[in-house]
Structure 1
Amino acid sequence: MFARAHAVLPGALRRGGRALVGLTLLLAATRGQAAGLANPSFEQGDVEPLGWRLEGQGAWEKAGRTGDRSVSVAGTGADSGFWRTAGLSFNPGALYRVAFWTRSEGATGGCVVSGPSFCNRDYHPGPAWERHTFAFLAPNDPSDAFLRFGHWQVKGKVLFDDIELKPTQAVHERFGPGGGGVVAGGANVVINVVGGPGGVQIAGLPGQQGGVVLGEGEEIVGNRYTFAAPLHGEGANHSRPLHTFRCFFNSNRWCFHDKAEVVYKHLIPGHPHQAATVEANCNYHTGGKGFVDVGANGADWTTVASFEKVGRIKAEVPKDLLPADALFVRLRADEKANFQVDDYLFTSTLDADMGEMRGSTAYLDIQTSDPAFPVTVLSLPSAAPTSGWSVSIRNLAGVPAKFALKATVTDESGREVMQQGGASASASVSIAIGGVGQPNVPQPIQESTTQMSAGGPLRTPGVNTVTLIVTADGREIFKASALRKLPVLHDASYGYALPSDANCPLWWCEGPYKVSRSRPVPTAQKAAIEIAASRHDHEPFQLVLRPKAEMKNLRIQVSPLKCGEATLAPEHIRIEQVAYLNVVRPTDAAGCRGWWPDPLPPFEQGTNLAADRNHPLWFTVYVPPDQPAGDYAGTIELSADGWKATVPIRLRVHDFALPRTTRLQTAFGLDHGAIRRFHNLETEAELRKVLDLYLANFAAHRIAPYNPAPLDPFKVEFATGGELKATIDFAAFDRECEKWLGEGGFNALMIGLKGMGGGTFHSRHPGRIANFAQGSPEYEKLMASQGSQLVEHLKAKGWLDKAYIYWFDEPEPRDYEFVIDGMKLIKRAAPGLTRMLTEQPEPALFGHVDLWCPVVSAVKPEAIAERSKAGERFWWYLCCGPHAPYIGLFIDHPAVDLRVWAWLSRKWGVEGQLVWTSNYWTSGAAFPDPDIQNPWADPMSYCSGYDFTPGKIGYWGNGDGRFLYPPNRDPKADKTKHLEGPVNSIRWEMLREGIEDYELFCLLDDLIAKAKASGKAADLLPEAEKLAQVPDAVIKDDRTYSKDPQPLLSHRRKVAEMVERLHCSLVR
């Protein structure tokens, strides 16, 4: 969960190397060649691979991913080692891309270390060969540097093969004049061909001049500039604002020691900084002092902050330095220092409103280059509407040449994608470059341009490979590719345009999408919204308005939906307005900075909508249990000042019903203390009223909290004198459980044993009752008295099959003996009570766990099948991990993640889902009392507990443990009482959709079994049994799944239709 503090220091820096690194914005293709990366696949050599040597334990293996050889390192779990280059040199200040393949053989713990000795990246190897790659910047004096691949505290063997080291260019996002792609097809543009020293230059090439350039982590919103250093990003130690550095980089943090320093330069040409703030986070500290200095010229410095411990540092730039065209910020250490910085944030106020711009950086993989024709890539395709390839080409050959450009885009599967408008992703641009006409007079020529399909915005979500080939007179002189991640936030491949007027285009899409505020209206069209649901089922959809001018006083009226004489009343259709949160620190590779949709506050009639922005309205249709089946139709009436529209809606109601209690069990935490605080409640009566609204919301979403009676636990009293026994009062507890496990449909119930020990991987404590310690005869007798009564009571109430005890969390191997003792105690004291443990199956624990609950990513289907044969059951959980490419619970992940989680549960035989809490709204570490976080303004879930003391900042991810929002949108200032229930989220809705999908599969299983037993519907069984399997096209495993929900939605429709056909066949 937490970043380690280890740092593999390079020899040069350890011995006091001090060379400052100067960054160049653009690198020529011929610059930065690594001198002599010999034997990258380890095929050559005699007693050891040529050009490599081993430090630590390892071997030159006689098998490889390709060829006949590879190398390995081996560890004990307490050591480290690596293979390193011999004779390799890096060019000073050059930018490189490194790539390698790795796998493990029975390895546990620790991590892979990789890359140059001055810039390490950690990875966790899997059993299959996997490629990893990142970019990095070389120091100015890399004479002692080397490339190495190895391990840190791994127990077992790790193998490496097929190393790549290439120069790269950093291509940043360009906005305004010069931004975007090539000139529109068919246009003729006069450009100047200028002769002079160095050959022929192309002046006026698209993207070559003007505009604002922003890299990864940079954004401008209005007059506010922000840079959040992308230390987790593809560029590792590199970023556009990085000016100089003399500091080791490890994975996601700068590691300072012995006068190390890092300098950032913040400059937006033509827009001076009027005010500025600098923030940094020291995540690790064992000695010395750190400083934050600022200046306006990079030579003269003013110290604005110092620190000597872990925590957040924040400082204002002094007014006497402002306004400033450029501001330099230096992070430095004294000679005794040993600390790390894992976050750097600079914000400033500029002199003008510049609109909204978010930067990005791509690092090119250059396969071909020609020194006679240097090519610099200025921009390439992205999510920006006007983006595309633009290049600067220099002709140093001394003779005229005719250049052609060809660009392609392929998706993650390697398929060449069709771009906007249906054009091929491949096209060309020809530029004829002549010589000089008269002395000192540029010769004008014509550029005949054809629209490049790659010049439009990327529209396919995921990791796209964009490739550019440049030819001179038909000969390839440049070829480069880049991975361009299009987060699902910017996916524009889905949705259906509705009939509407030009003043406010209307479109709609299904629920499992996250609609960005800026994506264009879809090109596909439908005349009406079309959805389907069974009885006692929920079906969401999104209706999106995009007004051209500000829309005032929007009102919505939904008509009754009619099917013959049957009516679905409008009160069964809930309308919410999608709200957006500004993600500043993406959780992982799936996310990006920007405005992500998540909260779903109830729609308020009379709402105003801003112009030129998508405004999704979230509709949830609930079909009552007694609703007649059939095809229903109605309308959604929209009106605003000077505008109105009618949207048809069609609903098919299937002829079967989902049950009240579903079979996919759930266990989600709910903190009633946070409810009291954020709702500003003072009395228990107020808390009970609001808590009931939260529990009702859980019930409506088919999700069970850990405990439906947090204010009414059963009361245990121990008689410790005379006869040792327990007396239990269940009255209040039973009242609440009867309501929520009955009418509410909750299908799981967490139970505790008073006096039981417990703990986590962080710390633990043994059990105690009064003066009797765990293990004493008196303790055993009292626990047995309590446990036997509890089990008998749960059995009598019919709740024992729903009950589980969750007393230890995420044990480490060192905790196993303690956990086994506790599990044995529970079996003795409360036989029949399900013993749950949040851990993957481990042989040492076999026979002591009834219900395994590992984190997603820690278990495979084979292990689940094996332990299921032994009579053990499985749930699993999501929390601050795993990260992409795994499914996750985060705001900045695909909407389908939390729905498809249930499909993978079905596929692998998992019977339940757990999340540690649902309303984690603030962190006592990041926001020490009396401060409080506002989850409406800050989506990040900051670490707390364990060793996170007040002021220490850690990041669990955007939205971790936060599926519901408080109705109080300004908890810092709004101290009025809020007696209403919670605000839903898109992720909360997707959880319910997944649970209902899982139940639909269960109904199909039931009907298949009934059909086989009765001999009916035999003709439907082959198709039904095929549909009962979750297809790989929906989800193959915990990290391979379709981010596009259409395969899921298509399969669900088929399953629902089959359930209906089987149901009708069997009841005839």
Structure 2
Amino acid sequence: MKARKSSILAAVLTLVACRATPEQDILNGSFEKGRGGPAGWQLSGDVGAWEEEGRTGSRCISVTGDGTSSNHWKCSSEELQPGAVYRIDFWTKSSPDATGGNVISGSNRCNFDWRHAKEWTHRSIIFKAPVWRGIEPFLRLGQWRTKGKVYFDDIRVRKIYLVHAEFDGIALGEGETIRDDRYEFIAPLNKGLNWARAIDWCTADFNSNRWLFDGDTEVMFRHWVGPRGAGPFRLSNVRVKVTVSHYVAGRCVVEARSDQENWTGLVPPPPPPHQETHGAGQTEVILPRWTRLGEIDGMRSAEFCLPSDFDGSQKMWVRLVGKKKQGEAKSPSFQVHGYRFSANIDDESLNLTGATYAVHRQPEDFEPRAKSTWLGLRLVPVQELPAFIESVGAPSLGGTNAVRVVVINMLNRPLRFTPTVSVDGDSESFPSQWLSPRAHGTAALSYRAPRAGEHWATVTLLDGETSEVLYTGTWDYRVPPLYDSDFGYAITSDVNCDLWWAEAPYKISRRCPTPEKRRPITIAAAKGEYEPFQLVIAPKRDLRGLRVKVSDLRSAVGGRIPANAVEACRVGYVNVTHPTDEIGCAGEWPDPLPPLDKPFDIVAERGVQPLWLTVHVPRDVAAGEYRGTIDLAADDWNASVPFTVRVWDFEIPRENHLRTAFGFSHGNVRRYHNLESDEELRQVLDLYFKNFAEHRISPYNFAPLDPVQIEFPETPDGSVNLDFSRFDEQAEKYFGPDYRFTTHRLPLRGMGGGT
């Protein structure tokens, strides 16, 4: 109980230390106030103006560059607190003739570059203010080496706090993943973030996607992961990789230590000392040692293995320190744009991807006054209810989540509060809760975001007597298409598993919840058409030796679709660690379809297992409804799932009228299947092309091994020899009735490509 109270007190003190300042009038974010210039803002130099063409209202500010200089407007009324996290929203545009350089924003110690926009464009940044080191931090908006004018308007500054994704009590933040028994953290610098759960503190400045080491600066990381209440996992086989992307002078020294006590507060102290008593009553203060792993003294990447005596530690710290080279007068000057930490953990069943959510709190203040009671501190309220969001679950993975709010009653009487949660404006109220005087409690509130896309959620606590708003916390999040769950139909459920189904176009993630809507499996297809669907097994325990058997489908008038016209495959998953675009995300993506030619196991901890069934409707069957069953059997479980195919009274033409061109690399096929000879490659390519034909798709090149041969003999008339013989043989095959490809990219060896 004492440990829990201490953690609550630490969280309260953190909120007090990071008191959030509302959008204050003194910020003058719309630049409407002032005499002779915008109140609260100062121009650093060169050319700038208080303009009369604001996006909203009548005013805005601008800076003008000559292509070689840099200048900015400095906010002199907003103090940045070291260690606090800020969100800044603003609008900007550049003059039509503006070229070169960048728009700059943020602070003088955390800068973010932007490209020029010719129309008013919204920009948003979130950054953690570095620890002070003699340089006063301030907000700024400006330009760097731009030739032309840049405008700014409607700046909004808010303090926020960060909440990390939680999976059954395991917290993982942005950049953290667990795959089987391997934990990894990649600093999310490429996303423009100088904060993460694993980034403990820093004195280094930040620019867009990299840390700037200038003088004796450092960045420190703290690594620990494990379920709430059970203690962290033990770490072993630890590797650290650091990338220096720009180098002028000095050394990037990499050091590590383990099992240090937790730090609370804004600026961590040095590693905690302990005392040893020697003879004659002499006491010596011992500082824990940092173990030097190595250094980087140039523009390169380096990987370091931690010594084996670190194995088994539950917490590890790594720090990057800028130091002078021995005998060199120059101060350290280099930039780090990559940091990776990986370690084995003592759990092989996990497959998790972390995320971090920025919570905006209202009211943004509560005033503490120190006394000597209740957890060592007597908190006297002004008007607000102290509360904070401890967890929001993992909403980026869609489905149902729970927000956990810690509420602290600082009154001398019981308090009744009523919580509500809204997602995208749709609210749900929960039963009122009571808190004893000078006590704290936790409200766990469920919410769901089944659709892919951008969402925002809000938790509100109302006074149970007056309905006055006591607290509001808001966070936004994005559900990638992979975790869309607004589809599918439930079939049946028992103690072993749920069964449900979905149409073919949906990507079904391992975490996809069982739908609430119910509907039997029914698909429709024309004669000659291939029509797939997905049958999903959501196991509640392991299912060993699963076998799948499909029956014949029969109509009421005696028609028959044979069982061999239904192909059953298992949906396989590919672990994507580096998404190629913003629509994607790290995680297990369903993609390959290995055939169900032998029994296989379903492990409950891995999540759902879809089956992909494709019905090829014969061309000679009569129209009507055909019914059959899919029989599932494991070692001690079985189920029979009925399904219906409605056959339309028309036939898909054999000829393809839609032109397609599917990019396809025979070189990748050779490498993926480890093929050694051209003959092996021909056989495998033909299997791919048969599958293409079934789906009425044409590849770019169906004759990669038989191109048109071209020669340029040395003849007086400059003639060219073209040999189509091998290509014509392949064209006759793949343009013929068995494949019916409609397009082909015609490469001419010696003359580049063609169409």
Q: TM-score, normalised by structure 1?
A: 0.58
Conservation of the 8 A alpha-carbon contact between 1:279 and 1:312:
no
The root-mean-square deviation of aligned C-alpha atoms, in Å, is: 3.7
**Counterpart in the other structure of 2:490:** 497
Letter in 2 for 1:605: K
| Aligned equivalent of 1:66, options 51, 56, 59 | 56
Other structure's SS at 1:464 match? strand
Does residue 232 of structure 2 align to residue 271 of structure 1?
yes
Structure 1 residue 634: Cα displacement = 2.0
CA contact (8 A) 1:109 1:154 kept: yes
Matched letter for residue 239 of structure 2: V
Tell me the residue number matched to 2:268. none
Q: Which amino acid aligns with 2:80?
A: F
Tell me the SS of whatever aligns to 1:543: strand
Residues 1:720 and 1:224: Cα distance change in structure 2 (over 3 Å)? closer
Displacement, 1:145?
Answer: 2.3
5+ unaligned residues in a row in structure 2: which ranges? 1-9, 261-270, 272-287, 325-330, 367-380
AA aligned opposite 1:408: V
Match of residue 407 from structure 2: 393
Instruction: Note if contact 1:260-1:332 (Cα within 8 Å) is conserved in structure 2.
Output: yes
CA contact (8 A) 2:708 2:749 kept: no
Give the secondary-structure state (helix, strand or coil) at the position aligned to 1:599: coil
3-state SS in 1 of match to 2:402? coil
Match of 1:375 among 375, 381, 387: 387
Structure 2 equivalent of residue 663 of structure 1: 658
Q: For residue 519 of structure 1, give the secondary structure of its aligned residue in structure 2.
A: coil
Counterpart CA distance in 1 for 2:400 and 2:38 is: 49
> Structure 2 CA distance, aligned partners of 1:23 and 1:303?
33
Q: Which residue of 1 aligns with 2:3?
A: none
Matches for 1:271-420 after TM superposition, within 5 Å: 271=232, 273-280=234-241, 282=243, 284-288=245-249, 289-296=251-258, 297=260, 298=271, 300-308=289-297, 312-335=301-324, 339-350=334-345, 359-371=354-366, 372=381, 373-383=385-395, 387-396=401-410, 399-400=412-413, 402-411=415-424, 415-416=425-426
Q: How does 1:979-998 map to 2 (within 5 A)?
A: none
**C-alpha distance in 2 between matches for 1:329 and 1:616:** 42
Contact 2:213/2:332 (8 A) holds in 1:
yes
**CA–CA separation in structure 2 for the residues paired with 1:110 and 1:537:** 56
Query: By percentage of residues, which structure has more helix?
Result: 1
Q: Within 2, Cα distance between the matches of 1:395 and 1:643? A: 52
- 1-side partners of 2:567 and 2:714: how far apart? 55
- The residue that corresponds to 1:51 in the other structure is 40
Percent sequence identity is 36
- Which of 211, 216, 227 aligns to 2:174? It is 216
SS in 2 for 1:408: strand
Distance 1:619 1:351 in 2: 38
In structure 2, the partner of 1:33 is 21
Residue equivalent to 2:428? 425
Task: Return the alpha-carbon distance in structure 2 between the equivalents of residues 25 and 625 of structure 1.
Answer: 73
Distance 1:407 1:491, change over 3 A: farther
Letter in 1 for 2:432: V
Give the letter aligned to residue 390 of structure 2: L
- Choose which of 82, 85, 105 in structure 2 pairs with 1:95: 85
Could you tell me whether the CA contact under 8 Å between 2:256 and 2:317 is conserved in 1? yes
Distance of 2:742 and 2:118 partners within structure 1: 37
Match of 2:564 in 1: 571
Asked if residue 723 in structure 1 is aligned to residue 742 in structure 2, the reply is no
Cα distance in 2, alignment partners of residues 325 and 604 from structure 1: 44
TM-score (norm 2): 0.79
| Change in 2 beyond 3 A, CA 1:751/1:224 | closer
Equivalences for residues 511-590 of structure 1 within 5 A: 511-526=504-519, 528-563=520-555, 564-587=557-580, 589-590=582-583
Q: Which residues of 2 match residues 748-759 of structure 1 at below 5 A?
A: 748-752=743-747
| Superposed displacement of residue 711, structure 1 | 1.3
Distance 1:470 1:455 in 2: 14
Once the 2 structures are TM-superposed, how far is the Cα of residue 327 of structure 1 from its aligned partner? Answer: 0.9
Q: Tell me the residue number matched to 2:741.
A: 746
Distance 2:148 2:472 in 1: 40
Q: Distance in 2 between matches of 1:355 and 1:681?
A: 34
Report Cα offsets for 1:839-880 as digits up to 9, x if no partner.
Answer: xxxxxxxxxxxxxxxxxxxxxxxxxxxxxxxxxxxxxxxxxx
Contact 1:407-1:466 within 8 A present in 2 as well? no
Local SS of the residue matching 1:409: strand
Give, in whole Å, the separation in 1 of the partners of 2:52 and 2:145.
Answer: 24
Amino acid paired to 1:427: F
CA contact (8 A) 1:136 1:237 kept: yes
Q: C-alpha separation between the residues in 1 aligned to 2:687 and 2:67?
A: 50
Deviation for aligned residue 1:591: 4.3
Task: Tell me, in whole angstroms, the C-alpha distance in 2 between the residues paired with 1:36 and 1:591.
Answer: 40
Please state which structure has a larger fraction of its residues in strand. Answer: 2
Q: CA deviation at 1:353?
A: 6.8
- Residues 814-861 of structure 1, C-alpha deviation per residue, up to 9 Å, x if partnerless? xxxxxxxxxxxxxxxxxxxx7xxxxxxxxxxxxxxxxxxxxxxxxxxx
Aligned-pair CA distance for 1:329: 0.9
Contact 1:539–1:621, Cα closer than 8 Å, also in 2: yes
Q: Corresponding residue for 2:683? A: 689
Would the alpha carbon gap of residues 141 and 333 (structure 1) be closer, same or farther in structure 2, given more than 3 Å must change?
closer
Amino acid at match of 2:125: F
CA distance in 1, matches of 2:541, 2:181: 22
Cα deviation 1:100-150 (Å, max 9, x = unaligned):
234566578765443223223345566665433332111221753232334
CA distance in 1, matches of 2:554, 2:743: 38
Residues 519, 706 of structure 1: alpha-carbon distance in 2 compared, 3 angstrom cutoff: closer
> Which residue is 1:172 aligned to?
164
Q: CA deviation at 1:466?
A: 1.4
Contact 1:102-1:130 within 8 A present in 2 as well = yes
Question: Is this contact kept in 1: 2:400–2:449, CA < 8 A?
Answer: no
Contact in 2 for aligned 1:36/1:87 (Cα 8 Å): no
CA contact (8 A) 2:28 2:39 kept: yes
Shift of 1:558: 1.7
Distance 1:540 1:76 in 2: 61
Give the Cα separation in 1 of the matches to 2:702 and 2:624: 37
Matched, 1:465 2:456: yes
1:239 to 190, 196, 201: 196
What SS class does the counterpart of residue 732 from structure 1 fall into? Answer: helix
CA contact (8 A) 2:66 2:146 kept: yes
CA distance in structure 2 between the aligned counterparts of 1:539 and 1:110, rounded to whole angstroms: 54
Kindly indicate whether the alpha-carbon contact (under 8 Å) linking 1:381 and 1:387 is maintained by their aligned counterparts in 2: yes
How far apart, CA to CA, are the structure 1 residues paired with 2:125 and 2:621? Answer: 56
Task: Assess if the C-alpha contact under 8 Å between 1:62 and 1:68 holds in 2.
Answer: yes
The question of whether the paired residues in 1 share the 8 Å contact of 2:400 and 2:448 is answered with yes
Q: Which one-letter code corresponds to 1:27 in the other structure?
A: L
Q: Is the 8 A contact 2:84 2:159 kept in 1?
A: yes
Unpaired runs of 5+ residues, structure 1, are 1-21, 177-210, 417-423, 436-441, 758-804, 807-833, 835-1068
Inter-partner Cα distance in structure 2 for 1:630 and 1:79: 76
How far residue 370 of structure 1 moved from its aligned partner, in angstroms, is 4.2
Find the aligned partners of 1:539 and 1:76 in 2 and give their Cα distance: 63
